[in-house]
Structure 1
Amino acid sequence: MKKHPIFTLVFLCYLLSVTTASAKDSILLLGDSVSASYGMQQNEGWVHLLNQQLTEQNAPYEIVNASISGETTTGGLSRLESILNKNKVDHLLIELGGNDGLRGFPPKLIKNNLLQMIDIAKSKNIPVSMFSIKIPPNYGPRYTKMFEEVFSTVANEKSIKLIPFFVEFVAVKPDLMQADGIHPNAKAQPIIADIVREDLRKLLE
């Protein structure tokens, strides 16, 4: 039976849309509660909001959120290999270390975990970027300095991009933070989404 030209055109458009959608690069975000919508619904979190923006802008990439509340660099390291084996990942974005710092974990342990995560990704030819992380100053100047230096040291040693601490802008504004003073609230999420969108644009485009 001869197909109608309009049918053929519609079918070709469908194939093009499917191909375009599947051609998007997948950015795996390995993070903690700050990226896991702690204290709110998933669709209120900055990752969901950012993915909405990226879709509206026809950006060539999307974020796959593998963040878990309470996650540490040790936990991220233990999960990473399995996640990479089960998913198509074009870029790894690490947002871990905050819980390590809040629990006073040794900076050497944090550094070694981050180095191993980067090595795992690079062994699969997956480029890596990492967020710099900061903790409250009440942990003392010595530990705070050693903790924060871990991220720049790792980035330099492994020649990866280090993205500025994306919560820093909202963390100093009480009206944008939850009652615990650690997690940004729902009002802060669109702001964080805009900050990270610009960071990703500079990084990937």
Structure 2
Amino acid sequence: MSPASAQTAARATAAPAAARTVLVMGDSLAAGYGLAASQGWVALTADRIAKTRPGWRVVNASISGETTAGGVARIDGEIKRNKPEVVVIELGANDGLRGLPLSQTRTNLDRMIRSAKGSGAKVLLIGMRMPPNMGRDYTQGFADNYTTLAKQHAVALLPFLLEPIATDRNAFQADNLHPVASVQPKLRDHVWPKLEPLIR
């Protein structure tokens, strides 16, 4: 999905301007790559929030291909524009797949968390895992980035977004990276227990 269509979809499910906002800063996994605008787990979460949490809305500012560096560059503008009560950060996968230095990814995520908390927003950090071919040290260090930052900043953590479907090849599109539409409800339900307490 293009950034423009993702933002259009977010606006389409948004409540009135006075609503309290959940801002999602993610990559293709949150932008719903290869899916219709209504099918991704973020859109499904927005639907659930609209039905169960009156006065809340979801703004999906995710961009396919986004790195943590891109997130750092955009987050202050998104926070200023949307004034979120909750910021969901789902970034890092593209850093890992490119083999970028772990310290760089950690620094960028740290800056995003600080920006969100500095605005008064609560934070949900959603982690990823790297495939074994990246090497044991890298894959372990990549996972550790999320747990370390969550503890350091005392923010909510979902260690691995794709945990419910990771071992099911049929859950993924032909690229073996992006989940198909039929499993998006599983991802929504996986994220919900960590997100729901932040919007009570």
Q: TM-score range by the shorter chain?
A: 0.7 to 0.9
Out of 163, 167, 188, the residue aligned to residue 168 of structure 1 is 163
Does 1:91 pair with 2:86? yes
Q: Please say which structure displays the higher CA radius of gyration.
A: 1
Work out whether residues 173 and 180 of structure 2, in 8 Å CA contact, stay in contact via their aligned partners in 1.
yes
Which of 142, 145, 161 in structure 2 is aligned with 1:147? 142
Q: Answer yes or no: is 1:158 the counterpart of 2:153.
A: yes
- Output the aligned Cα RMSD: 1.8
Q: Against the structure 1 CA distance between its residues 68 and 23, is the aligned structure 2 distance closer, same or farther, given a 3 Å change threshold?
A: same
Aligned-residue offset at 1:197: 2.3
1:77 is aligned to 2:108:
no
Match for residue 131 of structure 2?
Answer: 136
1:200 partnered with 2:195 = yes
Judged with a 3 Å threshold, the aligned counterparts in structure 2 of structure 1 residues 202 and 164 are, in CA distance, closer, same or farther, namely: farther
Q: Residue type of the partner of 1:78?
A: A
Q: Tell me how far apart the structure 1 counterparts of residues 158 and 105 of structure 2 sit (CA, whole Å).
A: 17
Structure 1 distance, partners of 2:156, 2:55, is: 19
What does 1:3-152 align with in structure 2 at a 5 Å threshold?
A: 24-58=19-53, 61-152=56-147
Deviation at 1:49, TM superposition (A): 1.6
Q: How much has 1:43 moved relative to structure 2?
A: 1.3
Residue 42 of structure 1 aligns to a residue whose secondary structure is coil
Percent identity over the alignment? 38
Is the CA contact 2:123–2:156 (under 8 Å) kept in the aligned structure 1? yes
Q: TM-score, normalised by structure 2?
A: 0.86
AA in 2 matched with 1:110 = T
Instruction: Report deviation, 1:68.
Output: 0.4
Distance 1:199 1:59 in 2: 19
2:157–2:194 CA contact under 8 A, matched in 1:
no
Give the TM-score of the pair, scaled to structure 1.
0.84
Return 5+ residue gaps in structure 2 as ranges.
1-14
Output the CA distance in 1 between the equivalents of 2:81 and 2:198.
25
SS of the residue corresponding to residue 62 of structure 1 reads strand
Q: Secondary structure at the match of 1:71?
A: coil
